[in-house]
Amino acid sequence: MSTNITYLDRMDKEELVRRFKNGEGKILAKELGYKNYKCFRDTVRANYGLGAKDVIGSQPIETQLPKPEEIHLPEIKITPYKSKFKRYKGDEEIATLHCGDWHMGKVTKSYDEDTAIERIDEIFESTMVIITLHRSMYPIKKLWIVDCGDNVQGENPHQGSKIGSVKMGVRDQLAKLALPAWAKLICRFRQEFEEVEFDGFGGNHGHDMLAPETSRADLNLYDLIKAKIGDKKGITINIHEEFGEVVTQGGWRFFIAHLDGIPSYSGIPYFGIDKALKAWHMQFGGFDFALGGHFHQRHLGDEVSAVLPDFLMCSTLISNDDWALKKLKISSKPSQNIFGIHPRRGITWRYPINVVKEK
């Protein structure tokens, strides 16, 4: 037997084997007085039958770590839309679905991921009822979808994302909830319209205040949507990195923003919105209409300001929303907005889409 066995005898065998397997071979060689690690390793191999293969961490990394979960989204096939109406009486209009504040991943006593999917299905069904009625009077070939942000809840505990109030982290909120929901909804609409155009803006959830503006979870979501279905014929995905921009649709100028950062006075945000819109109206060279979200309250164009154009604000999908109750002193009514754009009259008809089915 090698004379080096006396060095090994200085330490309990079980302790030595345990530390060797844990990758402390070089430390042990020094502690036991070997001139180098190779001599120590050869002695351990000869006496205890241990080698590099026995050291934790020596295996290929794919055998040590669990493989990440793979998310497979089904391939989407779109059946081209064919108009069922042969004759129309009026001018063609553009239908606009004004969405935002879905907060997928958030959990309340009456809202979770399953409830969110049910309410998104209701958006589609209610929208098509309204569109069918209006198509009996004039053609509606295009759907414009405006997403004002906060599609997912995020992870920031200061925004209500505490343990018990969120289902999963923001990465899963995007990949498992928001992306499949939006891809399905847009493609369902594409089968009912000749063209679907989507304009997405970033909200304040899923974003750290110190992070770059382009790190917002909503922008990540829009990138995923564009990668998934952006190449489908008749679908256009537009991503807006600025906090707000003017978008021209149907010949009319719409200022669109999430509206976070605007203060509320005694729970009422409209004074702050009026002040902000006046400043933005000058800064952006004027606009005809303004669309926003963030406050989880529905507003369908009643006067906010006597000198500014119509302002429309969409609500949320969330029910039993403590944030709105604390911030505005009024609980939100889950809904989204839909309206029509006439080439000469601007916004004509407008409706709320109530996403909670009546029992």
Residue 158 clears pLDDT 70, i.e. is over it: yes
Q: What does the pLDDT read at residue 66?
A: 59
The span from the CA of 221 to the CA of 73, in Å, is 14
Residue 219: inside a domain: yes
Per DSSP, the three-state class of 300 is strand
SS3 of 129-184: HHHHHHHCCCCCCEEEEEECCCCECCCCHHHCCCCCCECCCHHHHHHHHHHHHHHH
Q: What does the pLDDT read at residue 303?
A: 60
Between 210 and 142, the more confident residue is 142
Task: Report pLDDT digits (tens) over 232-286.
Answer: 999 999 999 999 999 999 999 999 999 998 887 766 788 899 899 999 999 999 9
- What is the token pair recorded at 61? 């990394």
Residue 20 lies in domain: 5-64
- Residue 1 pLDDT level (bands cut at 50, 70, 90): very low
The span from the CA of 251 to the CA of 157, in Å, is 42
Q: How many domains, in total, are found in the chain? A: 2
Which of the listed residues 64, 80, 114 is the one where a domain comes to its end? 64
Residues paired with 145 in a beta bridge: 97, 198
Per DSSP, the three-state class of 30 is helix
Give percent of the chain with pLDDT exceeding 90: 56
User: Do 30 and 125 have their domain in common?
Assistant: no
Task: Report pLDDT digits (tens) over 289-313.
Answer: 999 999 998 888 766 665 567 899 9
CA dihedral 296, 207, 185, 97 (to 10 degrees): 40
User: Do 270 and 209 have their domain in common?
Assistant: yes
Per DSSP, the three-state class of 197 is strand
Task: Report pLDDT digits (tens) over 6-39.
Answer: 677 777 888 888 888 787 888 888 888 887 888 8
Residues 240-274, buried b or exposed e (16+ Cβ, 10 A)?
A: beebbebbebbebbbbbbbbbebeeeeeebbebbb
User: Do 166 and 315 have their domain in common?
Assistant: yes
Residue 182: inside a domain: yes
Between 325 and 74, the more confident residue is 325
Closest CA to 146 of 79, 94, 74, 80: 94
Residue 112: inside a domain: yes
User: Do 286 and 185 have their domain in common?
Assistant: yes
Which of the listed residues 64, 82, 112 is the one where a domain comes to its end? 64
Closest CA to 52 of 67, 42, 39: 42
The span from the CA of 93 to the CA of 82, in Å, is 17
User: Do 128 and 246 have their domain in common?
Assistant: yes
CATH of residue 306's domain is 3.60.21.10
Residue 290: inside a domain: yes
Residue 77: inside a domain: no
Radius of gyration of the CA atoms of the chain, in A: 29
User: Do 247 and 337 have their domain in common?
Assistant: yes
User: Do 52 and 111 have their domain in common?
Assistant: no
CA distances from 154 to 52, 167, 209, 278, 295 (A): 44, 10, 13, 31, 17
- In the chain the beta strands, taken as DSSP E runs, fall at 94-99, 142-147, 195-201, 235-240, 244-249, 252-257, 289-292, 299-300, 310-313, 335-342, 346-354
Which of the listed residues 24, 45, 64 is the one where a domain comes to its end? 64
User: Do 53 and 198 have their domain in common?
Assistant: no
Residue 82: inside a domain: no
User: Do 306 and 160 have their domain in common?
Assistant: yes
Residue 268: inside a domain: yes
- Residue 67 pLDDT level (bands cut at 50, 70, 90): low
User: Do 139 and 45 have their domain in common?
Assistant: no
Task: Report pLDDT digits (tens) over 200-218.
Answer: 999 999 877 767 778 899 9
Task: Report pLDDT digits (tens) over 84-110.
Answer: 666 667 899 999 999 999 999 999 999
The span from the CA of 120 to the CA of 180, in Å, is 11
User: Do 239 and 348 have their domain in common?
Assistant: yes
User: Do 199 and 267 have their domain in common?
Assistant: yes
Q: What does the pLDDT read at residue 85?
A: 63
Task: Report pLDDT digits (tens) over 172-194.
Answer: 999 999 999 999 999 999 999 99
Q: Which amino acid is present at 234?
A: G
Residue 303: inside a domain: yes
